[in-house]
Structure 1
Amino acid sequence: MNNNWIFAHKTYNKEKRASIEPVFTLGNGYMCCRGFFDEEQSGILSLGGIYMAGIFGPARYTPWKGKGRELVNTPNFYSTKIFADNEAVIADEGKVSDFQIQLDMKTPKLNRSYIWTGSNGNKLRLEFERFISGSDLHTAGQKISITPIGCSPKIRIEVGINADVTNLNLVSSEPLPVQPGVKHLNLVYRDSNCILTEIHGYEDIAIAEGQKVYFKTPQNAEGLIHSTDMNCRHIFEYRGIENQSCEIEKIIYVYTSKDGEKDPLSKVKKLLEEEVSYQEKLDEHKAIWDKKWEVSDIVVEGSEEDQISIRYNILQLIQSCPEHNSKLSIGARGLTGEMYEGCIFWDTEIFMLPFFTFTNPKAAQNLLKFRYHTLPEARKHAERNWFKGAMYPWQASEKGIEQTPFGVGAYYSIHIVADIAYSIMEYWNATHDEEFITEAGAEILLETARFWESRVHKNPFSGKYDILAVRGPNEYGVIVNNNLYTNMMAQQNLILAKTLIQLMKEKYPAEWERLKDKVSFSEEEISKWDDIIENITICYNAELDLYEEDDMYLSRVPLDMKKAKPTSKRIIDSTIPYEALMLYQVTKQADVLHLMKNLHWRFTHQQKVNAWKYYVPKTCFDSSLAFSIHAVMAAQIGLQEEAYNYFKVCANFDIRNVLLNTVSGLHFANFGGTWQAVVFGFAGLQVDEYHLKISPNLPRAWKSISFHIWYCGNLLKIYVSQKSTEVYLKHTNGKDICLKVSDTEFILNESNNHIKLSINGDE
């Protein structure tokens, strides 16, 4: 296999184990397993971690509304113990050499190997392999090889399922704090092959897991296989033979009471009766992923490091997406860690959704359907706060209930309401998914528009509509009035609702009548929206031709960012207390620039340049969400070097542990942002209701990129080099595609299925 499909580490540092584990996560959207070591490690910090979509237990914090809950660390089905002459095999420094851990992203599977040297001189070569099946959500595999080197010790191997696991919910940066853990699992049943645990206190959930174990011994090896019901464990003891390997292969099955199975344990036991091999399951898994990569991959010519990091970002996005279940979504840390308790933020719609919209529209539809399923709770949330319509929470549980801890103030980040509406229309423009827009999307847009109508305040002095006491994308703005991002996205929400109502009246009149009756819509509401659209406060300085982040930003004290942030530590962790931030011109992440990325057609090129020059020096990049937006904007305004530099940070964000908090889980908004930096930034892809546009601006380090996208039922391959742009129609829905490449218009269809435009404009 080409090495640009392999992400590897070849050095071992036990102190960094916990931070490396999430980086090597495997998953399938139903469950994800961090890259912890199979062999149990005594005295070496490891968080472990196998998390399942929708499996939550009671949390230790009190949210603003509702009951606190957190992702549960579920039973460790890779649990292994190895002994050589009664000495435990532990990957401790001084005993480990020739270490290597590899994430094969093409398959995907995780391989790890090293040579262990015991205190009495025994040497073993240990090789581990695992996968989480993409072909069967309930299946995983494990393979272990043990080879004595220059010795013949007595070897004991224990493979099993361990339910004695703990939630630690590490939320701070390195160095890691010592804190007590919480155990959510109650053991109900176990034998040598199966285990049944239950979770109580938030929801009553049963988890059944089973293992089918195969031992492949060296020829002439004398051994004994026995099992213990008490520990759900198979034990193999034998006398090792020098330079001959013993292999253990294991197939794992996982079902829960939330999977539609009345008796998940019986389901698992039935599966264990089937004769299947590890290789068969691995081959089925790989075949599914080959199909996923056909559309999802981005091929970069010119930088192997960039190629690997881009594929890594894409892999992790796919692995944590619960595309099998529209009542679930992707949390800020996916299924790779416990920070934010598996809650859903704007990260999903604004950062991750575009990747799925263009590579897996069905998965994108399900992510948006999650917001439809939680629309009733959003209505309740608005009503509780004395507003109309639907108010989506900033930090949502899987049931759509606000989970922001009381007193944090993040619930003022109401821009998420408009973010969801905006993302629905972006999805519509790219798919023309009539089923979703008429059955779910239109209702969300209408109810979110109603929220903004009730949330604005008409200023008696200016006659304008203000939006008071909010927090924009700049979380260091604390609480401000008339945040530009919030106001203009709210305005756009109202415009989109109006546009969609008109579309439904014209194209889907029956569906419109049904929806109008369902939500008791009155045409008088539109006139109110028109007034707000026309008169909402937009903070703009005409003298500077500069859009202002909020109505006081330019009046605050300027800050020398080099002095305020001398190291990579966040400002609030080093120089300025959080409570004092509101006094200064400091931006945590893109705010005005993010708005200009979203609503790019509403600003001139010069206004974008002005905003860049003004806000970038005031931005401290204290968020994983910061770098990708700056990469996209820099590329779109022609700052090629800056764009590439920001891309390099976001593409390697967790790989390099930039904020020192990867231990708490991977940063999924950043993964989606990396894809946007490449496709929206360097390839210059933009979509409106009727056109697909490509305006490339490749980094000098790249010779070319190629990728596929789904667009309105058509599959396109786009190839961009330093010399030309080509578009191939790989699958058509039978309708013409209006395409604009660097301001040259084309029609793509079945008879004209390939276009090429050179950099000098020649076709």
Structure 2
Amino acid sequence: MNYLKPFDPAYCVEEERNCRRYTKYYEGVFAQGSGYLQIRGSYEEGLACADQGELYMRMPANVTIEKPRHPYSKWGVYVPGVTGIHPMLKEELVNLPYLLKLDVTADGEKLDMELPGIHNYRRCLDFRDGVLYRDFDWRTESGLVRCQYRRFLPRQLKRVVVQEFSFQVASGRCRLTIENGIDCKVTTNGYNHFKKVEESGEAGRRGCVVQTDNGDSIRMLSMLFDSQGKVLGPVVDSVLREGETLKLTKLSAVSTSRDLDAGYLEFDQMEALLAETINRGERVYLENKAQWARLWKRAGVSIVGDETAQKAVNFSIYHLLRSVNPDDSRVAVCAKGYSGEAYFGHFFWDTEVYLLPFYLYTNPELAKKLVEFRIQTLPGAMANAKAYGYPGARYPWESSVSGEEQCPNWQYADHEIHVTADVVHGIWHYYQAAGDMEFLKNALPVLKETARYWLARVCRRPGGAVTLDGVMGPDEYICLCNNNAYTNFMAARSLEITAWALELCGEAAEPGFIEDLRETAQGLMNSVDWSGVIPQCDHFEDYEEPDFETMWPDRSKPFGGQVSQEYNYRVKALKQADVLMLPYLFPERFSAEQIRQSYDFYYPYTTHDSSLSAIIHSILCVRLERDREAWELFQRALEIDLSEAKMGAAEGVHIANCGGIWQGVILGFAGMKWEYDCDQPTFYPRLPKHWKSLSFSVCMKGEFYRVSICGDQAHVIKVE
């Protein structure tokens, strides 16, 4: 460790003061992960004021405006896929025992970051290798202790957590007592999912086995080592004089009953893994660094002339890379990127629309895991359809590992059905990018079963009209409507994709099935007037005009949190882009004038209460050559997680916005066309005036390219 290590400000987030107000925010910002294992950036010793085992009943609510329960700190240790059953919130990601625990005392005085004796504090996360550093001086009654912490989750040892500590007595003399631990008294959203807990502590190790109420079993082992790699007891007691230093390494391992490769490890196997890890010394970090370097080589974006944007893009890429599991398609990336309890570890339409493009155009192998997740959860989608009285498959608004609907709020669970079409869009997007016919054949059951759902879900009117009634579009503030343009378009496209795929694969279908798909798709399109401003839904013009001046006095807070739901649902107030999602995803299908008219009509009604909103509008403004508005909206997206004042990441980072920021640069300012709209890499750049250049790599049709943009010129070179 280097106490004075310099950091590249473009590749790090740094906290220069410890303040209770911002602790929880930085826990989200400093989240680390190996794909398999994810942890929040909490202090090893915790905060005395933050009870991690508090029991309470969290009720279903609108999480966009819900006031969080834990104001100061909430630990988080997650293995994606390990879930529990909440009596009100359904299946949720379980917050596991806190295996990072390390208690430090100096002559009986316990370390707490809220002590007045903490000085010269600095904490920093390096995006390039996923390492979190913490340095501070601790003035105790016995003297001054200089403390240095370093921790990371080696990507090549996905089950392991490495924590390194250095305690130097800079003045005085004191007895330091270090206690290793695993804290099992952790609740998830106020609920205890641990049906059984067994703790052990012998032969220098701390261990635990917990079983969740959903049948998962988790085994953890933690051990302390000295600077020579010798195993120490769970409690280390050392008297240090001035100038002396105590260096320790804590290694922990996690294994679960869900593990695929090596299976569910026993304690002896985990101990052998930790022994091998400590024996490799600094090579463990160097191998981790090399793996991160390979990921950054594909995904990195270089912006010359804007350090703020560069840092925000790097922040986004880091969290996108750490939160995806490259080895397990039984899970996707949850809405908080496994950096907090909000959204309960569920998967939304974000997967296909906001996240998939980043992985697809930088690392198709990772993208494949996300689309394979939807294939894996087809049985759950079919169960959903059956529960609603329909044949086929209906993908849930909020999915967990089972694929069954987990949203506790009926408005979204029952009516936001466009996610079923979004899933098919993601599958087709991946197929067009990869040209993987075997994958497409494996995905055919998803296409056919979702098509059967749509054929039953539509309403066939006298005279031949086909409508989709009682739906909620992406907006979410128009609660129930008929013929939402986005839903109709995506459902129709889903049916067309299914017909294309069946013909392409030579798959036999029952007589008249393909014809029915195409006729229904055309009927859905005919139920929307596409001639001018695209109507969000039938009778949108009949909704009341919102009185924003009176009803929304504090623009720093969401509109939805300042009005009643009754008022919200009857006025033309939009939470986020709805109609405008269509020209964002399919710019070739709409004229520039139609996009301009639709944008100008809907934007004044848009509250941007959702983190998904600003970046979509920014991309459209770039295409409309509205440079100032594009830049302002892009900046708004950058601040969602990185603004300390707004503390947006306290409940976890907004991972969909991270994917959106990448899209804002590549699909917005760089002007890259979607792969399904071109045969080769195509760019129409319109960089912000102060950006001197932009460069990045993309993968298209299985080939990698290096793209360099200066002004309005793009240079594309194929990389062998």
**Equivalent AA in structure 2 for residue 95 of structure 1:** G
Task: Show CA shifts across 1:512-565 (max 9, x none).
Answer: 3xxx3xxxx21401222222222225566688x200111121121112434433
Task: Show CA shifts across 1:684-723 (max 9, x none).
Answer: 1112263432111111231111111111221111111115
Residue 334 of structure 1 deviates from its aligned partner by 2.1
Partner of 1:75: 97
Partner of 1:197: 209
Partner of 2:521: 533
Task: Show CA shifts across 1:366-406 (max 9, x none).
Answer: 11111101112212221232223211111111010111115
| More moved, 526-535 vs 708-717 | 526-535
Partner of 1:595: 582
Q: Any residues of structure 2 matched to 1:473-488 within 5 Å, and which?
A: 473-488=474-489
| 2-structure distance, mates of 1:697, 1:96 | 48
Partner of 2:625: 638
CA contact (8 A) 1:84 1:122 kept: no
Match of 2:374 among 363, 371, 378: 371
Work out whether 1:695 is the aligned partner of 2:684: yes
Partner of 1:208: 220
Partner secondary structure for residue 152 of structure 2? strand
| More moved, 545-554 vs 403-412 | 403-412
**Equivalent AA in structure 1 for residue 160 of structure 2:** T
CA contact (8 A) 2:76 2:98 kept: yes
- Over 3 Å counting, the alpha-carbon distance change for 1:616 and 1:539 in structure 2 is farther
CA contact (8 A) 1:73 1:165 kept: no
| 2-structure distance, mates of 1:683, 1:723 | 9
CA contact (8 A) 1:299 1:706 kept: yes
Partner of 1:711: 700
Residue 580 of structure 1 deviates from its aligned partner by 2.1
Partner of 1:456: 458
Work out whether 1:53 is the aligned partner of 2:54: no
Partner of 2:469: 468
| More moved, 683-692 vs 656-665 | 656-665
Partner secondary structure for residue 641 of structure 2? coil
Partner secondary structure for residue 172 of structure 2? coil
Partner secondary structure for residue 580 of structure 2? helix
Work out whether 1:339 is the aligned partner of 2:342: yes
Partner of 1:679: 666
Partner secondary structure for residue 569 of structure 2? helix
Partner of 1:113: 135
| More moved, 695-704 vs 255-264 | 255-264
Residue 205 of structure 1 deviates from its aligned partner by 1.2
| 2-structure distance, mates of 1:264, 1:637 | 59
Partner secondary structure for residue 347 of structure 2? coil
Match of 2:182 among 162, 186, 189: 162
Work out whether 1:403 is the aligned partner of 2:406: yes
**Equivalent AA in structure 2 for residue 117 of structure 1:** R
Work out whether 1:241 is the aligned partner of 2:241: yes
CA contact (8 A) 2:618 2:630 kept: yes
CA contact (8 A) 1:404 1:411 kept: no
| More moved, 375-384 vs 360-369 | 375-384
**Equivalent AA in structure 2 for residue 305 of structure 1:** T
**Equivalent AA in structure 2 for residue 641 of structure 1:** R
Residue 204 of structure 1 deviates from its aligned partner by 3.6
Q: Any residues of structure 2 matched to 1:438-453 within 5 Å, and which?
A: 438-440=441-443, 442-453=444-455
Return 5+ residue gaps in structure 1 as ranges.
Answer: 63-67, 170-178, 218-223, 228-233, 506-511, 732-763
Partner secondary structure for residue 445 of structure 1? helix
Work out whether 1:255 is the aligned partner of 2:255: yes
CA contact (8 A) 2:642 2:648 kept: no
Residue 292 of structure 1 deviates from its aligned partner by 0.6
| 1-structure distance, mates of 2:217, 2:193 | 17
Partner of 1:558: 545
- Over 3 Å counting, the alpha-carbon distance change for 1:30 and 1:346 in structure 2 is same
- Over 3 Å counting, the alpha-carbon distance change for 1:538 and 1:628 in structure 2 is farther
CA contact (8 A) 1:556 1:585 kept: yes
| 1-structure distance, mates of 2:663, 2:35 | 21
Task: Show CA shifts across 1:247-303 (max 9, x none).
Answer: 112232222222142543232023244352441211111111111110011111111
Work out whether 1:283 is the aligned partner of 2:286: yes
| 1-structure distance, mates of 2:195, 2:313 | 36
**Equivalent AA in structure 2 for residue 628 of structure 1:** I
| 2-structure distance, mates of 1:331, 1:411 | 20
**Equivalent AA in structure 1 for residue 479 of structure 2:** V
Partner of 1:133: 154
Partner of 2:270: 268
CA contact (8 A) 1:131 1:142 kept: yes
Q: Any residues of structure 2 matched to 1:286-365 within 5 Å, and which?
A: 286-365=289-368
| 2-structure distance, mates of 1:181, 1:208 | 18
Q: TM-score, normalised by structure 2?
A: 0.91
**Count of aligned pairs:** 686
Residue 678 of structure 1 deviates from its aligned partner by 0.8
Residue 157 of structure 1 deviates from its aligned partner by 1.8
Residue 595 of structure 1 deviates from its aligned partner by 1.7
Partner secondary structure for residue 674 of structure 1? helix
Partner secondary structure for residue 709 of structure 1? strand
| 2-structure distance, mates of 1:322, 1:43 | 34
**Equivalent AA in structure 2 for residue 206 of structure 1:** I
CA contact (8 A) 1:57 1:202 kept: yes
| 2-structure distance, mates of 1:93, 1:613 | 54
Residue 40 of structure 1 deviates from its aligned partner by 3.5
Partner secondary structure for residue 404 of structure 2? coil
| 1-structure distance, mates of 2:540, 2:17 | 47
| 2-structure distance, mates of 1:238, 1:165 | 28
Supply the RMSD in Å over aligned alpha carbons: 2.3
Residue 416 of structure 1 deviates from its aligned partner by 0.2
| 1-structure distance, mates of 2:343, 2:46 | 27
Residue 586 of structure 1 deviates from its aligned partner by 0.8
Partner of 1:751: none
| 1-structure distance, mates of 2:220, 2:112 | 29
| More moved, 37-46 vs 656-665 | 656-665
**Equivalent AA in structure 2 for residue 532 of structure 1:** T
CA contact (8 A) 1:455 1:467 kept: yes
**Equivalent AA in structure 1 for residue 510 of structure 2:** S
| 2-structure distance, mates of 1:527, 1:659 | 52
CA contact (8 A) 1:23 1:666 kept: yes
- Over 3 Å counting, the alpha-carbon distance change for 1:70 and 1:709 in structure 2 is same
Partner secondary structure for residue 662 of structure 1? coil
| 1-structure distance, mates of 2:271, 2:501 | 51
Work out whether 1:729 is the aligned partner of 2:718: yes
CA contact (8 A) 2:405 2:413 kept: no
Partner secondary structure for residue 203 of structure 1? coil
| 2-structure distance, mates of 1:564, 1:657 | 27
Residue 185 of structure 1 deviates from its aligned partner by 5.9
Residue 243 of structure 1 deviates from its aligned partner by 3.4
Task: Show CA shifts across 1:559-612 (max 9, x none).
Answer: 2434433322122211x2112222211110000111221122211001111111
Partner secondary structure for residue 694 of structure 1? coil
| 2-structure distance, mates of 1:661, 1:303 | 22
Residue 94 of structure 1 deviates from its aligned partner by 2.7
CA contact (8 A) 1:211 1:253 kept: no
Residue 235 of structure 1 deviates from its aligned partner by 2.1
| 2-structure distance, mates of 1:579, 1:571 | 13
CA contact (8 A) 1:485 1:591 kept: yes
